[in-house]
Structure 1
């Protein structure tokens, strides 16, 4: 079956290369040199931050699955196990990370809006460096502190950087369509190419140079320091609402009123939570799905294939968003339906094909079909990220952007903690079926978002124009 891995990987790489090289003028956005400098600066920083982001989780069979930690992630579980901790203790550490992101996310988001997004990004670097340092200690309490710090940092990563980018982009009066170019390139590089290179680099440190499982965390801390230096020397500060009259609780109220009073924001939050919940559940399940009898499969090779599929999706998203006549709200309905169908494959194959109980080498025919379906899902993930970023830039008000974005992550983190705690309680087909239902519901909500965001012909839609034409619910 090694031949099958190479065929899938090679085909995916060829498609990604062909898609990038075949872009025509219709697929490209003409920009200015000043914007290109701004974009490249942000992409360097974002790639560094994503190159070490830690969001690792474990599966039923204790395999290490990487949800977003490209450099250190594959070694988190291994490091904890070398310290003598069992699956239960390690599971509690991961739950603490997601729980920390849930509890403290809205707080750090509000502070980012009020105290400055640049400061929040620098804080992210400092907090995560401290989290990396805790990995040197074999004491459970110290490791728990590290996971809590990691959860706080994750909340900043997925809100402060994007909020800074959108505000700075608008402050410099760049074209709104150019944002989509930055978003798609950020996903292509940060969630794709950097993921593969970081995985190879981490393997080099641990296996080739035999520096031990702590080495990727030390390397991550070094990259964080470099990224922080770039932020401090090249980024300017921007705020959501720096008004001294608004304390933390008022910031929460502002965000809550915005979500409750604007159906578009509420729909966007629900769509994001449903898709990310399905994505993280998939992260838990793809290993047992591809190796139901504990077959030996090349996790790193499969993961690299998934990242290529994600790069393919982000490249497709760049082409779609380059067309001014095509709205994100339209094509995302189809993306959610395709992703729902792709995660139904484990259920349909289990019904149509009798599962084998024989432990073999590599993937069975059934699992090979599932692998192709999973690659389709990862391509949908690659389309999702820049597209949801584009919609967030349109619908979320600037004055509470980071706070609202972290509100969106609260139900996600609750769901992940529940799944982690009960990961052995449900059959794998039930879990995939639940994900497929979530994605189907997301497509329905996306349809609703498209309908209510449309304006009569001849009237260009703008979220700021719409808010100015109504009584502003955020005017406290």
Structure 2
């Protein structure tokens, strides 16, 4: 493997270590022992849930190909997963708000374990059922857990600022360190120990079972709106009304869909972008480098949030930088002469793109805790899971369209489209900051008016 990869990985590791070890008093928030125990419990559960997800990632496509399915068949399986998340996401989100977030988290574990079990079958229909179950589980993973955390945090009376600590730590470990370890562990099971590509899915089921046991034994239940008078359709109406009547929520949903849609498109396209002429690149090592970049981003976010930096302000910069990094494949295709030699090591243009992609992954690391912070501020508690899954409808629709047409357009066109989406997200983020500031001023003026009103005799 070329020295270039080790240099990039080593430089990122040194920066992450320096940031974490060099935290000053300004970068740390004084908390209570009770909160620390609560935070550590959630971070442990979240890490177990994400380990179940990350263990599967490197081997899903490979397992399907080992069963003899071609690219078209595998593409339809992936579309089924995202389509399932789009169709059933709002339903499971509403059920989580009404029936309980703890129950929804347990349901996630059971559903994902069943999805892992289906991977033992080479039957296409069974694998399709597994993808549908996986799509439902994904909707729960990205809504129910966060909804439970925010409600439980507020119910216990902890400082709202401390939510940022939990978000940052969960992303730093669950989407960074755990992803790296899970990828290496999956490689050990499947390749080094010779258990085959289905072994990581069995390991994922075990970690999910452990997490479910912790949830059942240590989490209390909380709800959105549990009134008996509100059925599922009423929950939808509450969520739709909140999005339509509050510009801040609508803007937040649009920003999230634009960024995550670009992120998932990047996940599909980074491999062909770095090896357009079948260059020999270390996929696993590059994946680990991306996850290290994400850890760097979450470490930066924890500092920004600890210093009470305005999320709406710095996220404009993050989205703009993201747009520039995903425009790099377009720029290099124009400015750098393409290599005509098949195979070999990574090209000069590919090296530039890799550095840009690492920067993008750092932006992803900043994005997750920051968007969680904004969601905790703007989304109403009574329909939190429902609204969060409403946000995922355009996201999943976008990803399905991209997957269906992935061979219809050049990679540069796809990356250019993502870059435009991210610039739009930066503009919408600016609008969100303006609207939020106006709302705060209006609320403050109303409070001052009430205080100045004379008491009636």
Task: Tell whether 2:371 aligns with 1:388.
Answer: yes
Q: Distance in 1 between matches of 2:310 and 2:28?
A: 16
Task: Give the equivalent residue in structure 2 for 1:428.
Answer: 411
Q: Quick one: which of 186, 198, 211 aligns to 2:170?
A: 186
Task: Give the equivalent residue in structure 1 for 2:454.
Answer: none
Task: Give the equivalent residue in structure 1 for 2:47.
Answer: 47
Structure 2 unaligned runs (5+)?
451-457
Q: Quick one: which of 148, 157, 170 aligns to 1:164?
A: 148
Task: Give the equivalent residue in structure 1 for 2:386.
Answer: 403
Map 1:18-167 → 2, pairs under 5 A: 18-53=18-53, 70-167=54-151
1:351 deviates by 1.2
Q: Distance in 1 between matches of 2:246 and 2:15?
A: 40
Task: Give the equivalent residue in structure 2 for 1:379.
Answer: 362
Task: Give the equivalent residue in structure 1 for 2:11.
Answer: 11
TM-score by length of 2: 0.96
Q: Distance in 2 between matches of 1:362 and 1:162?
A: 42
Change (3 A) 1:456 1:191: closer
Task: Give the equivalent residue in structure 2 for 1:451.
Answer: 434
Map 1:347-366 → 2, pairs under 5 A: 347-366=330-349
Task: Give the equivalent residue in structure 1 for 2:185.
Answer: 201
1:344-378 deviation digits (Å, cap 9, x = unpaired):
11111111112111124221111101110110000
Change (3 A) 1:17 1:459: farther
Q: Quick one: which of 265, 271, 285 aligns to 2:269?
A: 285
Q: Distance in 2 between matches of 1:52 and 1:28?
A: 30
Task: Tell whether 2:353 aligns with 1:370.
Answer: yes
Task: Tell whether 2:241 aligns with 1:257.
Answer: yes
Q: Residue 177 of structure 1 aligns to a residue in which SS?
A: helix
1:155-193 deviation digits (Å, cap 9, x = unpaired):
000000000000000000000110001111111001000
1:198 deviates by 0.4
Task: Give the equivalent residue in structure 2 for 1:472.
Answer: none
Q: Distance in 2 between matches of 1:454 and 1:178?
A: 22
Q: Distance in 2 between matches of 1:362 and 1:318?
A: 37
1:424 deviates by 0.5
Aligned residues: CA RMSD = 1.6
TM-score by length of 1: 0.92
Deviating runs (4+, > 2 A) in structure 1?
A: 455-461
1:142-161 deviation digits (Å, cap 9, x = unpaired):
11100000000000000000
Q: Distance in 2 between matches of 1:129 and 1:370?
A: 37
Q: Distance in 1 between matches of 2:440 and 2:51?
A: 44
Q: Distance in 2 between matches of 1:212 and 1:356?
A: 35
Change (3 A) 1:456 1:274: closer
1:79 deviates by 1.2
